[in-house]
Amino acid sequence: MAPWGRYWNTSAAWDKCQRESCGDRFCLVTGDAAQPRCSLVVTGTPSASTGWSLALPGVPAPLILCRAAMGSGRILGAGAVLVALVVLGARPAGGEETKGFFQFLGTCECHYLNGTERVRYLDTYIYNRQQYAHFDSDVGHYVADTELGKPDADYWNSQPEILEYQRGSVDRFCRHNYEVSDTYILHRRVEPKVRVSPMQSSSLPQTDRLACYVTGFYPAEIQVKWFKNGQEETKHVVSTDVIQNGDWTYQVLVMLESTPQHGDTYECHVQHASLKSPIIHEWVLPADAARGKMLTGVGGLVLGLIFLALGLFLYVRRKVSGRGAGGGVGLGGPRSPPALPLTWSRCVAGRIAPPAAGNVPH
């Protein structure tokens, strides 16, 4: 009778666990398929408070998985291995569907001080986001963090082979991984690329910020400074966080809020572990930009003078025209003669036509 639930095989050498091997339990196995060995067993049915109960008759699951990672010769991170087992919708023996998601998480961490001079190995066990037990090489045995972890910690501490294996992980797991990864992780260096560009706010016509783009460097630790005319600027400097590029390199953007003037010199200084000396990227206001600003100012001045002269001309002309139309009234000047009662519509060939009959004035 095949066991119920899901199977998770982490390598080709692992096979399904038969019910005869682990009793009435759901399990994963390691080792030769001809001699299956239970490494993780999920027993019983989920309860409302704790979900699935975990029983580990052999060795703890994170320990098995850390051992498998070591045996494969692959480095799963810089001194740390993260292993997660998620039980999704597994069905108990009665055929009833379970509700919810139950997660078991184990982590294997290596903490180094001064290379491998002092190494600490930490193995933690987490169920539904709560750490319930851990092994610390500085302590030398398992410690229960919650009541849920007390039975497991007591059981593991009663097994000399488990404690011996965990205590040996400092050399076998941590120091081994350190030596393997030392050349291409710990000593890896990639020099940054630096570029400086002017920026401006949408509401301003001129540059009011300078941006120093630093990209493609590794490791992440870096120092970027701004200098103006030889003096370091600290008050008006804004920086983004160091951002991962996804290819084992990083980038950062550092901006200086300043309005460059003709003659000012700006420098972006970058210090990084990959550099023998800092990168200094200098930026000055381009000559054509300064000339353009000067020409713009001169053009504006000339245009203003033209409009001023035109306005004065129109004003004087209006004043003069107003005086001529007034005929000197009130100034004692000669008056224009009264208009004659002529009928210009009778004008023929430039002469005044005689009035028509009946229209002779009396």
Residue 182 and residue 198 share a domain: no
- Domain membership of residue 48 (yes or no) is yes
Range of the domain at 95: 19-186
Residue 165 and residue 213 share a domain: no
Q: What pTM value is reported for the model? A: 0.47
The model's confidence at residue 64, banded by pLDDT at 50, 70 and 90, is very low
Q: What is the pLDDT of residues 227-270, one digit of tens each?
A: 999 999 999 999 999 999 999 999 999 999 998 888 899 999 99
What is Dmax (Cα atoms) for the chain?
153
Residue 46 and residue 119 share a domain: yes
Question: Which CATH number goes with the domain that contains 229?
Answer: 2.60.40.10
Residue 108 and residue 29 share a domain: yes
How confident is the model at residue 195, as a pLDDT? 96
Q: What is the pLDDT of residues 324-358, one digit of tens each?
A: 655 544 444 555 555 555 444 444 445 555 555 55
Residue 124 and residue 235 share a domain: no
Cα torsion 335, 340, 341, 342 to 10°: value is -140
Residue 134 and residue 74 share a domain: yes
Provide the CB-side half-sphere exposure for 158 (13 A, CA): 9
- Domain membership of residue 239 (yes or no) is yes
Residue 172 and residue 131 share a domain: yes
- Domain membership of residue 300 (yes or no) is no
Q: How many domains does the chain have?
A: 2
Closest to 169 in 3D by CA, of 114, 119, 115 = 119
Closest to 104 in 3D by CA, of 118, 82, 85 = 85
Question: Which CATH number goes with the domain that contains 73?
Answer: 3.10.320.10
How confident is the model at residue 269, as a pLDDT? 98
- Domain membership of residue 361 (yes or no) is no
Among the candidates 168, 186, 204, a domain finishes at: 186
300 or 227: which carries more pLDDT confidence? 227
Q: What is the pLDDT of residues 188-230, one digit of tens each?
A: 999 999 999 998 776 665 678 999 999 999 999 999 999 999 9
